[in-house]
């Protein structure tokens, strides 16, 4: 398998699995079962004893591409907090209000006054609802003031609530005490030493990087971060993080449930989740994982677009955990060869059906316009297709401009860029097929995030009915149907 990477980034050492005490057959079982039952993984990288023993990307996802981490970003914000605490810029017991006297509400409740930095980090601020929505909806873009204005119903430290607004406040505090962004602060202290090249991070309207989400990194970057924590803060014989911080951030600081079968009920640290089997993790929505297994001396990095995040962890415990022996295993060249071939040929499920239909010749070149007064239209104005046997072309006109997208047939993905609902062009890959005589389906993989959009077009004479849905979402996954006419 060819692995592309930035030439400035030294690669982690590679090894055959058996040399590090991992059975190739078990890794193959994990990959095949994930491919069969999970929809879908985008990448994985398994490290044992500091060596990459398995790595794979489901095309069109690739090694050199960053992937949106969602809440896995929180663990990096926590790391920045640990570094700033070590530099005496703040402490876990500093009152949150002490950093923002000008943004405090007119009346400060007893619980708000009692909120400390450690409560932000451990998701025990005392709020009854996640504050993120209130932050995003603030008309002035003042997310700090919006956070401090929310009611704090519980005594801080007594009630766990997953609250991305709390992580934003950690980022805002770090922005204030360091005088710079999270990216700039972490660059010489974490990213550069680990060999992480050109990370990006979303910012709030006032220029503070949001902390709780918005960081994008490659799969190997995630693996490096996990390995740093596994090594208790040491990298290339240099200490980057205090060992005491690694221990404190990854142990249970607060209880978060009592279900012994759930990896969301094993306790929460400082922006790290505790897991079963003595493991811990940073994780993000839809299956972005940095899983650290200290007892096995292993790290697993995963990116994905999953609706069921527990399912992939169950598969790790069932297939990979028993495959890790205390010492090296006998060579298994046939099993390793099969694993190597399988990892190199992974692909996201393409559109399934026929490459062409009689309808294609009839509708090719027609422009179907959506009614401007249609409340379902959103920003789509028109759609146009040119159908071919091996590939097709779709042109989607939106209020942001025209998107011309080449579509692969017969299980192929064709890569390109499109805006659609984003302000800037984003990498995408498209696969299409006729699912019956009058219906054409397009899958659009957003190659640097969890999302895959499916567009289903049913042609009825001079009209087209367009259904749109996304594989995963924080809200509804289906958009209202559009009706276009020639």
pLDDT tens digits along 85-99: 999 999 999 999 999
Considering the domain architecture, whether residues 382 and 434 belong to the same structural domain is answered as yes
- Asked if the model's pLDDT at residue 312 lies above 80, the reply is yes
- Asked if the model's pLDDT at residue 158 lies above 60, the reply is yes
pLDDT band at 400 (very low <50, low <70, confident <90, very high): confident
Domain range enclosing 476: 358-485
Considering the domain architecture, whether residues 466 and 409 belong to the same structural domain is answered as yes
pLDDT band at 1 (very low <50, low <70, confident <90, very high): very low
Mean of the pLDDT values across residues 451-455?
97
**Residue after which a domain boundary falls, among 283, 311, 344:** 344
What is the spatial distance between Cα 330 and Cα 24, in angstroms, rounded to a whole number? Answer: 11
In a domain, 24, yes or no: yes
Considering the domain architecture, whether residues 339 and 224 belong to the same structural domain is answered as yes
pLDDT of residue 423: 77
In a domain, 9, yes or no: no
Say which residue the tokens 């996990």 belong to: 226
pLDDT band at 9 (very low <50, low <70, confident <90, very high): low
In a domain, 421, yes or no: yes
pLDDT of residue 422: 77
pLDDT of residue 468: 94
pLDDT of residue 8: 52
Considering the domain architecture, whether residues 375 and 477 belong to the same structural domain is answered as yes
Instruction: Output the domain CATH number for residue 59.
Output: 3.40.710.10
pLDDT of residue 399: 84
* β-bridge partners, 203: 209
How far the first Cα of the chain sits from its last, in Å, is 47
What is the spatial distance between Cα 477 and Cα 486, in angstroms, rounded to a whole number? Answer: 28
Mean of the pLDDT values across residues 191-217?
97
Considering the domain architecture, whether residues 338 and 395 belong to the same structural domain is answered as no
pLDDT band at 356 (very low <50, low <70, confident <90, very high): confident
pLDDT of residue 86: 98
| Beta strands, E only, 328-376 | 367-370
- Asked if the model's pLDDT at residue 17 lies above 70, the reply is yes
pLDDT band at 5 (very low <50, low <70, confident <90, very high): very low
Considering the domain architecture, whether residues 335 and 368 belong to the same structural domain is answered as no
Mean of the pLDDT values across residues 91-109?
97
pLDDT of residue 374: 60
Rg (CA), the chain: 24
Mean of the pLDDT values across residues 26-44?
95
Is residue 329 helix, strand or coil? coil
- Number of residues assigned to the chain: 486
On the CB side of 351, CA atoms within 13 Å amount to 34
Indicate the number of domains in the chain. 2
pLDDT band at 204 (very low <50, low <70, confident <90, very high): very high
Q: What percent of the chain has pLDDT over 70?
A: 97
- Residues 31 and 342 sit within 8 Å (Cβ to Cβ): yes
Instruction: Please state whether the peptide bond connecting residue 476 to the residue before it is cis, i.e. omega within 30 degrees of 0.
Output: no
Considering the domain architecture, whether residues 410 and 439 belong to the same structural domain is answered as yes
**Residue after which a domain boundary falls, among 299, 318, 344:** 344
pLDDT of residue 81: 98
Considering the domain architecture, whether residues 324 and 418 belong to the same structural domain is answered as no
Distant-in-sequence, close-in-space partners of 381: CB < 8 Å, separation ≥ 6:
369, 370, 372, 397, 398, 399
Instruction: Output the domain CATH number for residue 472.
Output: 2.40.128.20
In a domain, 349, yes or no: no
pLDDT of residue 378: 65
In a domain, 308, yes or no: yes
Is residue 76 helix, strand or coil? helix
Considering the domain architecture, whether residues 481 and 362 belong to the same structural domain is answered as yes
**Residue after which a domain boundary falls, among 302, 321, 344:** 344
Mean of the pLDDT values across residues 244-269?
97
Mean of per-residue pLDDT scores for the chain: 95
pLDDT of residue 14: 97
Q: What percent of the chain has pLDDT over 90?
A: 91
pLDDT band at 4 (very low <50, low <70, confident <90, very high): very low
In a domain, 85, yes or no: no
In a domain, 91, yes or no: no
- Asked if the model's pLDDT at residue 38 lies above 60, the reply is yes
In a domain, 366, yes or no: yes
Considering the domain architecture, whether residues 336 and 365 belong to the same structural domain is answered as no
Question: Of the ranges 38-42, 68-72, 476-480, which is most confident?
Answer: 68-72
Considering the domain architecture, whether residues 228 and 325 belong to the same structural domain is answered as yes
Considering the domain architecture, whether residues 362 and 481 belong to the same structural domain is answered as yes
């Amino acid at each position: 398998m060819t692995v592309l990477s930035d030439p400035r980034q030294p690669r982690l050492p590679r090894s055959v699995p058996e040399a590090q005490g991992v059975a190739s057959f078990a890794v193959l079982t994990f990959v095949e079962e994930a491919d069969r039952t999970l929809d879908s993984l985008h990448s994985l990288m398994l490290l044992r004893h500091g060596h990459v023993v398995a790595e794979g990307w489901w095309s069109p996802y690739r090694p050199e591409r960053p992937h949106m981490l969602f809440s896995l970003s929180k663990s990096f914000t926590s790391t920045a907090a640990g570094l700033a605490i070590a530099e005496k810029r703040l402490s876990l017991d500093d009152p949150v209000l002490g950093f923002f006297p000008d943004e405090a509400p007119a009346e400060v409740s007893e619980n708000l006054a009692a909120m400390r930095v450690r409560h932000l980090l451990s998701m025990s601020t005392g709020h009854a609802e996640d504050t993120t929505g209130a932050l995003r909806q603030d008309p002035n873009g003042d997310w700090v003031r919006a956070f401090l204005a929310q009611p704090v119903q519980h005594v801080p430290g007594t009630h766990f609530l997953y609250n991305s607004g709390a992580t934003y406040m950690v980022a805002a505090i770090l922005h204030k005490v360091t005088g710079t962004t999270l990216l700039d602060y972490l660059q010489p202290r974490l990213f550069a030493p680990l060999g992480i090249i050109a990370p990006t991070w979303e910012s709030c309207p006032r220029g503070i990087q949001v902390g709780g989400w918005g960081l994008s990194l490659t799969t190997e970057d995630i693996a490096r971060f996990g390995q740093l924590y596994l090594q208790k803060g040491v990298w290339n014989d240099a200490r980057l993080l205090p060992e005491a911080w690694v221990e404190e951030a990854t142990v249970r600081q607060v209880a978060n449930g009592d279900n012994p079968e759930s990896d969301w009920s094993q306790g929460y640290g400082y922006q790290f989740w505790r897991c079963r089997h003595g493991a811990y993790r940073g994780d993000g929505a839809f299956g972005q994982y940095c899983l650290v297994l200290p007892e096995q001396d292993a790290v697993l990095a995963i990116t994905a677009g999953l609706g069921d995040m527990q399912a992939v962890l169950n598969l790790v415990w069932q297939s990979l955990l028993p495959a890790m022996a205390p010492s090296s295993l006998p060579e298994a060249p046939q099993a390793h060869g099969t694993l190597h071939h399988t990892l190199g040929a992974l692909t996201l499920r393409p559109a399934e059906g026929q490459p062409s239909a009689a309808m294609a010749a009839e509708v090719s070149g027609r422009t179907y316009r959506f009614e401007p007064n249609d409340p379902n239209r959103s920003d789509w104005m028109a759609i146009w297709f040119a159908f071919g046997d091996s590939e097709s072309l779709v042109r989607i006109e939106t209020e942001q401009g025209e998107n011309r997208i080449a579509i692969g047939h017969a299980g192929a993905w064709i890569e390109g860029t499109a805006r659609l609902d984003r302000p800037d062009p984003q990498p995408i890959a498209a696969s299409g097929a006729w699912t019956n005589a009058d219906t054409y389906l397009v899958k659009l993989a957003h190659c640097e995030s969890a999302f895959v959009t499916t567009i289903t077009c049913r042609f009825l004479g001079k009209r087209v009915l367009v259904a749109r849905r996304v594989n995963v979402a924080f809200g509804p996954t289906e958009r209202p149907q559009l009706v276009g006419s020639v």
